[in-house]
Amino acid sequence: MPLLEAVRMALRTIRSQKLKSFFSLIGVLIGVTFLIAVVSIIQGMNVYMEDQFANRLVGLNTFSLRQRPDIVTGAVKEEEWRSWFRRPRITYADARYVKEHVTVPATFAMFCSDRQTLSFEGKQAKDIELRGTEDSYFRIKNVDIASGRAFSEQEVRTGQAVVVIGDLIAEKLYAGVDPLGKSVVIAGLPYRVIGVAAKQGTLFGISMDKFAVMPYTAPARRWICPHNVLDELEIRATNPADVQVAMGQVEALMRSRRKLRPDEANNFFLQTPEAALDGWKKISGILMTALPGLVAISLVVGGIVIMNIMLMAVSERTREIGIRKALGARRRDILSQFVVESATLSLVGAALGIATGIGLAFLVKAVTPMPAAVAPWSIVVAVILGVSVGMIAGVYPATRAARLDPIAALRAE
């Protein structure tokens, strides 16, 4: 019997007992839902982590020279953590030295930050990330100015008390008022607001607009970094290849400047978007290793359920099998009928699982800050798994059906 015929027959049987069919394929449905949803979320996270997290937090084609990592997404041992703090800090002199000696085209910005309270006419914005940096910072981090302007190189050189504020601060302190030209008090010192940054929205539900940027030379600098010391030197090259070259050069420059022996490890850190992703890569790696196991378990359970349902179907439909045999069905016709039926059943389960999995992924995307992106390969895998689980589960019941004796089967009630 042609395959198409068998599939049509199977669909007719499945349609005629919808509820029972649904329950029988629930295991496969769950397994596949799980597969699709988890892969979609991991995939979505990957894209999100790369595009948003890494590139927004660290910047495209950007890396920074730091004393220690600041974005730590994995687990770090206590000792290692402590050793980071014993390292020498990055100084203005380090920054200048590196700036002068990197040969590929690059933009640099010295950078320091800390949490501070900003106030205006009795209103306060607490826990604001106050950044002290250079004018090049806006270019490196792609900070768009919604109104007003960024500070200039001259303002940095002369240490002007000017500040560019994040959207959230504009909202909090200057509701209904144009903040441009207004004053803001930072750590007891008056500043002039010269620009408001474009709204950046949230990252994992955390606002990206709670910051203020001032020249690193401005009066409040002593509140964010000790004299002559930097949190980091931001470095942006023009393309990924130059980033690699620049990183190599910065590493070599710092090692020679600090007179590290070849067997000594770096006592500074180069933060890259990739390094920021390390922890996530570990987590997604674990998920991706555990996933096949979890999916396999539910598929095995699903397969056993289908096998039992098919065994039941064979005994319930013994008479039908007898009729078919009486009309000339060969063993292999009956065998393929039940295997195809089982595979079709399972495939329907897989199809429903794909739909619910995608649905679930998008639900997660809608109600949590986590993103989702359906991976086409996971759908292909789901379909293949669905069909094979059904076929394997169907073989034994189908063999029993095929072996039935026509007259005995016809006599069955």
Give the number of C-alpha atoms closer than 13 A to the C-alpha of residue 25, restricted to the C-beta side. 28
For another protein, the closer of residues 24 and 336 by Cβ is 336
- Other Cβ atoms less than 10 A from the Cβ of 136: the count is 17
Burial class (CB in 10 A: 0-12, 13-18, 19+), 121: exposed
C-alpha span between 361 and 61 (Å, rounded): 31
- Please provide the size of the chain in residues: 413
Q: How far is the CB of 322 from another protein (least distance, A)?
A: 8
For another protein, the closer of residues 16 and 103 by Cβ is 16
**Where does this chain touch another protein (CB under 8 A) — which range of 9-17, 139-147, 297-305, 347-355?**
9-17
For another protein, the closer of residues 337 and 378 by Cβ is 337
Show the tokens assigned to 65. Answer: 């020279």
C-alpha span between 333 and 9 (Å, rounded): 12
The reply to whether 366 sits near another protein by the rule CB under 8 A is no
Query: What is the DSSP code string of 20-47?
Result: HHHHHTHHHHHHHHHHHHHHHHHHHHHH
User: Any residues with CB less than 8 A from the CB of 368 and at least 6 apart, and which?
Assistant: none
- Chain-centroid distance of CA 82 in Å reads 29
Instruction: Tell me which residues in 241-270 interact with another protein (CB under 8 A).
Output: none
For another protein, the closer of residues 19 and 265 by Cβ is 19
Count of residues that interact with another protein, criterion CB under 8 A: 22
The reply to whether 400 sits near another protein by the rule CB under 8 A is no
C-alpha span between 55 and 273 (Å, rounded): 6
**Where does this chain touch another protein (CB under 8 A) — which range of 65-73, 168-176, 248-256, 314-322?**
314-322
State the helix-helix crossing angle for 318-326 and 331-367, rounded to 10 degrees.
130
The reply to whether 410 sits near another protein by the rule CB under 8 A is yes
**Where does this chain touch another protein (CB under 8 A) — which range of 10-18, 53-61, 92-100, 295-303?**
10-18
Instruction: Tell me which residues in 319-358 interact with another protein (CB under 8 A).
Output: 319-320, 322-333
Q: How far is the CB of 312 from another protein (least distance, A)?
A: 16
What are the counts of helices (DSSP H) followed by strands (DSSP E) for the chain?
A: 16, 14
Show the tokens assigned to 158. Answer: 């002369």
**Where does this chain touch another protein (CB under 8 A) — which range of 159-167, 169-177, 315-323, 356-364?**
315-323
Show the tokens assigned to 33. Answer: 């839902």
DSSP secondary-structure letter at 79? H
Q: How far is the CB of 387 from another protein (least distance, A)?
A: 23
What is the pattern of x (binds another protein, CB under 8 A) and - over residues 12-31? Answer: xx--x---------------
Show the tokens assigned to 210. Answer: 């709670």
**Where does this chain touch another protein (CB under 8 A) — which range of 11-19, 38-46, 87-95, 355-363?**
11-19
Work out which of 5, 51, 153, 264 binds another protein, going by CB under 8 A.
Answer: 5
The reply to whether 406 sits near another protein by the rule CB under 8 A is yes
Bridging pattern class, strands 183-186 and 269-271: unpaired
For another protein, the closer of residues 236 and 317 by Cβ is 317
For another protein, the closer of residues 200 and 337 by Cβ is 337
For another protein, the closer of residues 114 and 333 by Cβ is 333
For another protein, the closer of residues 66 and 325 by Cβ is 325
Q: How far is the CB of 330 from another protein (least distance, A)?
A: 4
The amino acid at residue 29 is L
Check: CB of residue 110 under 8 Å from CB of residue 137.
Answer: no
Show the tokens assigned to 290. Answer: 């555990």
For another protein, the closer of residues 17 and 152 by Cβ is 17
The reply to whether 1 sits near another protein by the rule CB under 8 A is yes
- What residue ranges bind another protein (CB under 8 A)? 1, 5, 12-13, 16, 319-320, 322-333, 406-407, 410
